[in-house]
A and B are shown apart, each in its own frame.
Chain A
Amino acid sequence: MSRSLLFLFTLLAGCVAQAAVWTEVNQWSPAFETRFHEWVQNEWRTDFFSRKNLPNGQSNPYYGLRMDCADTVYSMRAVFSYENKLPFVIQDPTSSGKTISNKMSRWDGKDELTRVRSFMWFLYETISTRSLPNDTYPIAITRETVVPGSLMLTTKKNHHSWTVKEILPIGVPYLVYNSVVGAGSGFGLQERQSWPNPEWVFQGDASANGNAGFRYWRPEAYLNKPVWQVPGYSDEQYRVALSKWTRFAQDRLALRQETDQQLVTRLLKTTCEGFTGRVTSVNEGAAYLRSNPRCMDYATYDTYSTPNRDRRVFDDFMALRRAYREILSINGGNQLAPELIGQLNKIFPAITHTAAVEAAKMGVSTEDAVSVCVAEYLPGKKMDLAEFKRRLFAGHISNNPHDGAEYRWGDVRGPSQRAKSCQSWDPWSPDLTAE
């Protein structure tokens, strides 16, 4: 009798096991917001979802979650909420006036980790960069407001977003993000310690209506409320001319001035990462083309083409060029190490001229003592950053996946026969007039 009762009790207790995704024990408060900022700064890293084990040896509960840029932003807030038993509530993107939260009981009966991972997958197939304006608000640009855990969003035209891991003492954001979930993308995130091009971030609508720029999470009480009523709402960043935006923001956020040497080195590193990161993307496309030598449909073309990637590298080259040119005009480069000047002069051999003139004048660059960022872009073939810049600015680099690797890297001038005969989408070519 008693055994039967015990069995019945256990069975019923199992049935009523926690219904919510997780039970919230705490509530968001200034103290928890501060802990969130500290957590992002210390724990939010590019291998957050790709490392199998945590430093303490335990398996990573989030391993294998694959996400795009908006998913990454939401994941940052959701994971912290879960780990600290806080509510995670966002506006339901499919219906104005409703919310989605950790209280949902869809995965009732599953163990907690399965519920959490299922909830994350549910978020990923529901949210997007266009739902972020519902759940966040634009903030003033100060060190008190642009904090770890905030985010950057572009206008809908470029539909991209980044998490802010921290603001470096020099006033530059350390961004962690992800790009398009492609055929070969893994579970790792990406990072950059430099400003995205404001012309790209705010492209199409630089006013508050574009929803772009720095934003922070709305308190639950302000979901489904007009954004301008959220405490801390500021449209200040939309009142700054785009040509002065980066300078304005960096001056506001800097604790100390970045030296010329540090500035150029940082921009050079970002540009180099853009170049070397392209190798994997192009190789994936070239490999696909070798095994599928025919015209691609839109989805396949979109997966293997690189117009946005190439534009970002171009923007990084232009930012580096502007910075170097400004330094030269102010102090002649007397704060830069001679070795660095040599490297820069190789990349920008006609820095006093326009980018268009420089592109026309620039000759083939071979690997030598002042080469920087030398990469093996194809088996047995290497080029340095200067040569990649020459080819990119000359329009020899192809982002069309119908082109073979030799065309994609500008070894051979395209377009290839296949690229000519197959349909292509979303073309991009460098605009050298936009200095």
Chain B
Amino acid sequence: MKPISLKVWITWGVILFCLGVGSDYYFWHLLFQEKVGATQDAAMTPPQTEATATPEASETPADDSFISEIQGAVSEPTGEIKDNFLESLKACAPEVAAQAIATPEALMEYLQKSIGVKTEEVSVENFHLTLPDGSKRRVHVVISDNTNSTTKKEIRFFKLDAEGYPERLPLKGDETLKSLLAQGTQTRHEARLQLLLKDGSSVNLERHDQKVFEFQFANHGKVLSCRFKECLCN
């Protein structure tokens, strides 16, 4: 058998290298990239299956193909959840704690109904949609920066790219929030709002699918801060 020449070694070396690079490109850049977004969502999906759909979404038949998108970061963390809500509430607002308030939901309801809301302003809202073709959209409604107005809001419309990052879509100018939401099924709703209460206290509240996700209650010098039931009073 003839000895293998250096040229043949180099040729086969180059061929194998190219095959390696080609495989890498196919798996990591073409095939796997499409699954990254879904993987991100799935990683955040807690084990329970109860969908936390908004009233709008609950009126339409369930479509569990986007269940991971619905539950994304809305649900409570699955690990050990610290619950010091009651003791923090007692420390920060003993007069409110005396009303047998047991949950952040109950606290928000108490503040709004018993103390009363002087002003309520929504500064940010995110609507997550799934279109009939299965593609995802997000509507981001935010206080407009490029204006002299103190109240004007702007609507930003996004599709999601293969990695799950938002990609702004141009609007013609005649769209409304309602018309954009009508394009698909709403799967999730996030809202950040500020409540100024009648007694001078205030609340910065973030709600996910109408449920209290996080809040800071500034109660005349004391601030009660909670995400779910993990709280801090200072």
Contact = CB atoms under 8 A, between A and B. Distances in A.
- A and B from one complex: yes
Interface of A: 1-2, 5-6, 8-9, 12-13, 15-16, 19, 68-70, 92-98, 100, 104-106, 108, 122, 125-126, 128-131, 156-160, 180-181, 205, 207-211, 224, 226-229, 235, 238-239, 302, 305-308, 425-426
B146 A181 contact: yes
B223 A207 contact: yes
15 contacts: A12-B18, A95-B128, A105-B163, A125-B168, A126-B156, A126-B168, A128-B143, A159-B144, A180-B146, A208-B223, A209-B204, A227-B225, A228-B225, A228-B232, A426-B150
Interface residues of B, number: 61
Contacts of B149: 302, 425-426
Contacts, number: 160
Interface of B: 11, 14-15, 17-18, 21-22, 24-25, 29, 33, 40, 44, 72-74, 121, 123-124, 126, 128, 138, 140, 142-150, 156, 158, 161, 163-168, 190, 192, 194, 196, 202-204, 206, 208, 213-214, 216, 218, 221, 223, 225, 227, 230, 232, 234
A6 B213 CA distance: 57
B73 A224 contact: yes
B44 to A, nearest CB: 6
Given A108-B29, A180-B146, A302-B148, A96 B223 contact: no
Given A9-B18, A92-B166, A95-B138, A158 B150 contact: yes
B140 A93 contact: yes
Contact of A96 (B161, B208, B216): B208
Given A209-B203, A209-B216, A156 B25 contact: no
A210 B196 CA distance: 11
Nearest to B72: A97
A307 B165 CA distance: 37
A98 B33 CA distance: 17
Nearest to A158: B150
A387 B69 CA distance: 61
Contacts of A210: 194, 204
Contacts of B74: 96-97
Given A68-B146, A93-B126, 12 more contacts: A2-B11, A12-B22, A15-B25, A16-B24, A19-B29, A96-B190, A96-B208, A125-B168, A128-B142, A159-B145, A208-B216, A226-B227
Contacts of A160: 145
Contacts of B232: 226, 228-229
Among A95, A100, A106, find the residue whose CB has the most chain B CB atoms closer than 10 A. A95
A24 B223 CA distance: 38
Top 9 A-B residue pairs of the complex, sorted by shortest distance between their CB atoms: A97-B73, A209-B204, A207-B218, A228-B225, A226-B227, A94-B138, A426-B148, A125-B168, A94-B166
B220 to A, nearest CB: 10
B11 A1 contact: yes
